[in-house]
Amino acid sequence: MGISLKPQHLKRYKDVVWLLIKYGRSDLVKTTGLDEAILEEDEQLSADAPREAKELADDLEKRGPTFIKLGQLLSTRPDLLPLPYIEALARLQDKVEPFAYEEVERIVNTELGVRLSKAFSEFEREPMAAASLGQVHRARMRDGRQVAVKVQRPNIREQIAEDLEAFEEIAEFLDGITDMGRRFEFTKMLGEFRKSLLRELDYRQEAQNLLTLGTNLGEFERIVVPQPVLDYTTSRVLTMEYIAGRNILSLSPVVLVDINGQALADELFHAYLKQILVDGFFHADPHPGNVFLADDGRIALLDLGMVAHITPRLQEQLLQLLLAISEARSDDAARFAIQIGEKTDNFDKTGFVSRVTEFVSVYQQAEFKRIEAGRIVLQITQIAGECGIRLPSDLTMLGKTLLNLDQVGWTLDPDFDPNAAIRRNAAEILRHRVMKSFSPGNIFSSLLEVQDLVQTLPRRVNRILEHVANNDLEVRVQAIDETKLMAGFQKVANRITMGLVLAALIVGAAMLMQVPTSFQIFGYPGLAIIFFLVAAAGGILLVLNILFKDE
């Protein structure tokens, strides 16, 4: 299978090949003979992994929105990349040059169906922020409300569609001729990437995410989520409340002294634990650029284009895993990780448990402050991938989220302890989960199951009593097959008996060798030679039967 070289894709082919040559360790590089150029630098590259990882993030940023989003996808695959690369890509932020105000005006006019000057009483020409998919302008509505208007870049959908087409051709090529492609199924991975990216391009979905997260975090007084203005929102324009504030990392030490950083960090961490372990819906990109300190002292969560969903069963397993990690219970951490993951054919349980135990024990002996919970989760996912366990991408997304959250937490409170926060909030999380289990929907579902049991129980009991009365009640137990067991014993007994007979023939032949007789074979007593030949033939047959027929 080869790549159909389309002229419009040549630049993307060049970009991908250049990245593979510079950073790749895949068998694609080896099959093309390019690995010799980088083989000599392997040792130095390993030593300089953090620097090289930062360079990879920078190189992806320079190549546009699709590569930036691809980097964010790769940050969820510790089975593909080493931990320093995962961390660098997890903190990837796309800051690009803004596009012209005339384009902004044209897009807003087209999407809202009304002139921008009619929809807003004020609209700032210079954007507050510009990213790979769009940029944000501050504006004021006719009723006086201040809003932030997010406008999608012109032709960005066409550009991403073209890039995805080129990536798909490369993925098919890798899957067709390389062992790594057959192992990781890049075409399937790209399909998930396409769906995620297309959802992010629909601002109506982001508006719904803002509504959902705002409702879920309504109980947290120190957390605020800007709410969308639905009448002024389309697939390419998102209008939401404007929250005045500053980037967390831009805060001066003087500002940090005036705020209660410890309470803010703890409540932010608690809010994320609730999102992940109770609601099953969480903001998956809390890097410092998306977490603001509002002027009223609250923490604002911005940019909900990237969210993740977690099933109730996985929530329980994640809670157990996080508690085991926070308390340095390495055996339990390894066991819960195995339960969460999918074992492959080359699963090495002993190696996995040993490596996790060693890894967690290092942190147990260290000072628990400044320990990154996200880094530990990512490290465990990487060990799992190397030992033959395929963990769900949600777990890596959790590790990424916690990694960014740790950085924000320490900025607010230098003494912030993520592990202590997990243990401190565990009881509250469990209370929320119990309360959630008593929701009207779950209660009605349980009542319907009880109703079904009550309706069918008399009929089932009656059938059981009829079988008992007729003396034909059977209890089937899956145990050892006694027929096969007896056949095995009989086979062993036959082999032993045959061995004894052959041994007796050999002993008898040896004794007959001492008896003179006129019947001789090869100059020896004939009867003794016959016994010996029969014993030899029987022994050879017995050995051949054991070698080729026994299991």
Q: What is the 3-state secondary structure (H, E, C) of 39-55?
A: HCCHHHHHHCHHHHHHH
Q: Is the pLDDT of residue 205 over 80?
A: yes
Q: How far apart are CA 397 and CA 409, in angstroms?
A: 18
Q: Which of 476, 450, 455, 474 is nearest to 464 (CA)?
A: 474
Range of weakest confidence among 293-307, 417-431, 496-510: 417-431
Q: Is the pLDDT of residue 163 over 50?
A: yes
Q: Which of 408, 94, 434, 442 is nearest to 271 (CA)?
A: 408
- Overall average pLDDT of the 41-54 stretch: 55
pLDDT of residue 145: 94
The letter for the amino acid at 397 is M
Range of weakest confidence among 79-88, 106-115, 186-195: 79-88
Residue carrying structure tokens 């590569």? 67
pLDDT of residue 364: 59
Inter-residue contact 194 to 165 (CB < 8 Å): no
Q: How far apart are CA 139 and CA 119, in angstroms?
A: 10
- Reported as half-sphere exposure (CB side, CA atoms, 13 A), residue 322 has a value of 27
Strand 299-301 versus strand 223-224 pairing type? parallel
E strand or H helix at 307, and its extent? strand 307-309
* Span 386-409, pLDDT tens digits: 888 877 777 777 777 887 888 788
Q: How far apart are CA 492 and CA 494, in angstroms?
A: 5
Question: With bands split at pLDDT 50, 70 and 90, how would you rate the model's confidence at 478?
Answer: low
Percent of the chain surpassing pLDDT 70: 81
pLDDT of residue 28: 37
Inter-residue contact 74 to 68 (CB < 8 Å): no
Structure tokens at 57: 């993030």
Neighbours of 150 (CB within 10 A): 27
CA distances from 58 to 76, 319, 444, 545 (A): 18, 34, 53, 67
Q: How far is CA 386 from the centre of its chain?
A: 14
Question: With bands split at pLDDT 50, 70 and 90, how would you rate the model's confidence at 243?
Answer: very high
3-state secondary structure of 92: coil
Phi, psi of 152 (to 5 degrees): -75, 145
Q: Taking the complete model, does pTM exceed 0.85, yes or no?
A: no
- Overall average pLDDT of the 523-529 stretch: 77
Q: Which of 230, 224, 225 is nearest to 203 (CA)?
A: 230
Length of the chain: 551
CA distances from 463 to 324, 454, 466, 467 (A): 48, 15, 5, 6
Strand partners, 343: 389
Q: How far apart are CA 438 and CA 454, in angstroms?
A: 21
Q: What is the 3-state secondary structure (H, E, C) of 108-160?
A: HHHHHCCCHHHHEEEECCCCCEECCCEEEEEEEECCCCEEEEEEECCCHHHHH
Identify the residue with better confidence: 235 or 505: 235
The dihedral formed by the CA atoms of 447, 450, 456 and 458, expressed in degrees to the nearest 10: -130
- Overall average pLDDT of the 433-458 stretch: 65
The dihedral formed by the CA atoms of 412, 418, 424 and 429, expressed in degrees to the nearest 10: 100
Inter-residue contact 169 to 4 (CB < 8 Å): yes
- Overall average pLDDT of the 373-396 stretch: 79
Strand 291-294 versus strand 245-247 pairing type? antiparallel
* Span 252-274, pLDDT tens digits: 777 777 788 888 988 998 898 88
pLDDT of residue 425: 75
Identify the residue with better confidence: 474 or 351: 351
Q: Is the pLDDT of residue 148 over 90?
A: yes
Structure tokens at 268: 């932010």
The single-letter DSSP state of residue 279 is I
- Overall average pLDDT of the 132-158 stretch: 93
Q: Max Cα separation, the chain?
A: 132
- Overall average pLDDT of the 160-175 stretch: 82
pLDDT of residue 36: 41
Q: Is the pLDDT of residue 21 over 80?
A: no
